[in-house]
């Protein structure tokens, strides 16, 4: 089966390579020519535009930064909609606003093209090793059609509801992750200020109720002062803005999300927006006048 893949950024590139490793034939496109060349060198065919990719494939996957990019790539000039045939399926794996997913799906439906929103969680490391968590919105028959494909990029793929439900689930995920990192940051700054080794705090609490995947993934990095991005603060800002916008539209209060959003905005002002989101701890370090480090690091 030949698949289309549009968007070969920090996530899309390793995801597309995993599909190639699984034996799928790919036609790929991105505005960054170096990224295209790298995936073509791994065995993909090059498309000249999203329209060209869609004209050559019945299933097209998109992995793009935000709602406007998805609308342009799918619905714009030389977009997927211009090349897709009736019965084709577009799987948007970008993290965008749920209402934007529904708008794109409605336009595609006019041409008889089906749509799933299927955002992911796990960042670059899990994109590379193919263990992403994939949250899907759309019709069950469309999900069944691509589930095996999704599981070549992720460890799990769950149908959460109709179109838009995947992105609602992703927003919920991003709220939980952001608040976990903020809580972890407060705890470690407290320990450091009290002259207790935060590394020992991590070792002590990770097996208890406070333990989490977030704690295990981010603690070793922040305890070394390593903010090399797996998932950048600026991208988490984008997700939390979508969460806040969606919450305001439907009347769901999310006050803690607003607080963490302002913390991230403060870090952005300081030029730290490209740091890993574990770098949230730097906001607390600055206020407390300490640097959180495992003893001996």
Decide if pLDDT at 126 tops 70: yes
Verify that 68 and 147 share a domain, yes or no.
Answer: yes
Verify that 15 and 68 share a domain, yes or no.
Answer: yes
Structural domain boundaries enclosing 136: 2-163
Please give the pLDDT value at position 1. 82
- Whether 295 is in a domain gets the answer no
The arithmetic mean of pLDDT across residues 219-248, rounded, is: 95
Verify that 249 and 119 share a domain, yes or no.
Answer: no
Residue 23 Ramachandran class (φ > 0 left, ψ -120 to 50 alpha, else beta): left
Decide if pLDDT at 297 tops 70: no
E strand or H helix at 70, and its extent?
helix 67-75
Decide if pLDDT at 296 tops 90: no
The rounded distance, in Å, linking the Cα atoms of 175 and 239 is 9
Verify that 150 and 9 share a domain, yes or no.
Answer: yes
| Confidence at 236, pLDDT banded by 50, 70, 90 | very high
Beta strands in the chain (DSSP E): 2-6, 25-29, 45-46, 59-62, 89-92, 114-117, 120-121, 132-137, 154-161
Verify that 80 and 199 share a domain, yes or no.
Answer: no
- Whether 179 is in a domain gets the answer yes
The rounded distance, in Å, linking the Cα atoms of 6 and 146 is 16
- Whether 107 is in a domain gets the answer yes
Verify that 8 and 151 share a domain, yes or no.
Answer: yes
Verify that 150 and 41 share a domain, yes or no.
Answer: yes
- Whether 125 is in a domain gets the answer yes
Token pair belonging to 86 = 């009736």
Verify that 104 and 120 share a domain, yes or no.
Answer: yes
- Whether 294 is in a domain gets the answer no
Is residue 295 annotated as part of the catalytic site, yes or no?
A: no
* Among 89, 30, 19, CA closest to 65: 30
Please give the pLDDT value at position 125. 87
The arithmetic mean of pLDDT across residues 207-234, rounded, is: 95
- Whether 210 is in a domain gets the answer yes
- Whether 267 is in a domain gets the answer yes
- What CATH number is associated with residue 52? 3.40.50.720
- Whether 195 is in a domain gets the answer yes
Please write down the HEC assignment for all residues of 264-297.
Answer: HHHHHHCCCCCCEHHHHHHHHHHHHCCCCCCCCC
Per residue in 94-111, pLDDT tens?
Answer: 999 999 999 999 999 999
Verify that 49 and 140 share a domain, yes or no.
Answer: yes
Please give the pLDDT value at position 123. 85
Q: Which of 170, 218, 238, 272 is catalytic?
A: 170
Decide if pLDDT at 136 tops 70: yes
17 near 40, Cβ under 8 Å? no
As a whole-number percent, the residues of the chain with pLDDT over 70 amount to 100
Verify that 257 and 220 share a domain, yes or no.
Answer: yes
Last residue of a domain, one of 117, 141, 163: 163
The arithmetic mean of pLDDT across residues 47-54, rounded, is: 98
Verify that 88 and 211 share a domain, yes or no.
Answer: no
Please give the pLDDT value at position 42. 98
Verify that 189 and 280 share a domain, yes or no.
Answer: yes
Token pair belonging to 194 = 């009290």
Decide if pLDDT at 82 tops 80: yes
Our count of domains for the chain comes to 2
pTM for the model stands at: 0.91
- What CATH number is associated with residue 204? 1.10.1040.10
Average pLDDT, the chain: 97
Last residue of a domain, one of 163, 193, 209: 163
Rounded to 5°, angle at Cα 178 from 176 and 179: 65
Rounded to 5°, angle at Cα 172 from 220 and 94: 85
Decide if pLDDT at 18 tops 70: yes
The arithmetic mean of pLDDT across residues 219-234, rounded, is: 94
Beta strands in 106-239 (DSSP E): 114-117, 120-121, 132-137, 154-161
Last residue of a domain, one of 112, 147, 163: 163
């Amino acid at each position: 089966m030949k698949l289309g893949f549009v968007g070969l950024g920090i996530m899309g590139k390793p995801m597309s390579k995993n599909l190639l490793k699984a034996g799928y034939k790919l036609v790929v496109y991105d505005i960054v020519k170096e990224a295209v060349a790298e995936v073509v060198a791994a065995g993909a065919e090059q498309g000249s535009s999203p329209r060209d990719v869609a004209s050559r494939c019945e299933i097209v996957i998109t992995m793009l930064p935000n709602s406007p990019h998805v609308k342009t790539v799918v619905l714009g000039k030389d977009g997927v909609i211009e090349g897709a045939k009736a019965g084709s399926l577009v799987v948007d794996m970008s993290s965008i606003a749920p209402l934007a997913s529904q708008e794109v799906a409605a336009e595609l439906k006019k041409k008889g093209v089906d749509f799933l929103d299927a955002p992911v969680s796990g960042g670059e490391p899990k994109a590379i090793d193919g263990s992403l968590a994939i949250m899907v919105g759309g019709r069950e028959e469309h999900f069944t059609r691509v589930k095996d494909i999704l599981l070549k990029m992720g460890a799990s793929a769950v149908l959460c509801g109709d179109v838009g439900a995947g992105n609602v689930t992703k927003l919920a995920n991003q709220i939980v992750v952001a608040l976990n990192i903020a809580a972890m940051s407060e705890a470690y700054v407290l320990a450091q200020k009290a002259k207790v080794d935060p590394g020992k705090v991590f070792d002590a609490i990770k097996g208890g109720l406070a333990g989490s995947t977030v704690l295990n993934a981010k603690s070793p990095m922040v305890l070394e002062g390593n903010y090399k991005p797996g998932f950048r603060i600026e991208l988490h800002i984008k997700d939390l803005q979508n969460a806040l916008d969606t919450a305001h539209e439907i009347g769901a209060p999310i006050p803690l999300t607003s607080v963490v959003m302002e913390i991230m905005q403060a870090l952005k002002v300081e030029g730290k927006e490209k740091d890993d989101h574990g770098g949230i701890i730097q906001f607390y370090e600055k206020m407390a006048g300490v640097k959180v480090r495992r003893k001996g690091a």
